[in-house]
Amino acid sequence: MRGVAGRVSDLIEENDDGFTLTATPTGAQVLGVRSAGEKLIARSQGSVTISLKGATRPDSQLLSLLLCWLRVAMTRGTTLHFSHLSPELQAMAQLSGLQRLHPSFAPSSQQS
């Protein structure tokens, strides 16, 4: 599954407390990235931090991906933390009223 950002396996880097999205997935990659993230969330114990440090091109597809991961985490009773959300992605989330679902989407939640 090759695209602008490479293979799906190149888009997620696992770390001690969760994983990092290293690029914004393309349309062809988003389902594979979703599945990979869901597997990492399912393996976790209690809390997962997802860094969006590499996701520099915010779009509705990326926001939808985060909501899918949030749903999986909530179903499993896992606490999800998002870090490095761009101001543009936060603005998109706020326009949709998503700050009520998760504090990371609120304007004052600039996490590093």
How many C-beta atoms lie closer than 10 Å to residue 74's C-beta? 13
Establish if 3 belongs to a structural domain. no
The reply to whether 39 falls in a domain is yes
- The answer to whether 39 touches 33, Cβ cutoff 8 Å, is no
Residue 1 within a domain: no
Spatial contact of 58 and 93, defined as CB atoms under 8 Å apart: no
Who wins on pLDDT, 102 or 65? 65
Does 32 reside within a domain? Answer: yes
Q: In this predicted model, what pLDDT tens digit does every residue of 11-49 receive, in sequence order? A: 999 999 999 999 999 999 999 999 999 999 999 988 999
What pTM value is reported for the model? 0.84
The range of the structural domain enclosing residue 55 comes to 8-105
CATH number at residue 91: 3.30.750.24
- Which of 73, 12, 83 is closest to 52 using CA atoms? 83
Model confidence at 5: pLDDT above 90: no
Per the structure block, which two tokens stand in for 35?
Answer: 């599945």
Distance CA 28, CA 45 (A): 30
- 112 assigned to some structural domain: no
Could you tell me how many residues make up the chain?
Answer: 112
- Count up the domains in the chain and report the number: 1
pLDDT band at residue 100, thresholds of 50, 70 and 90? Answer: confident
110 within a domain of the structure (yes/no): no
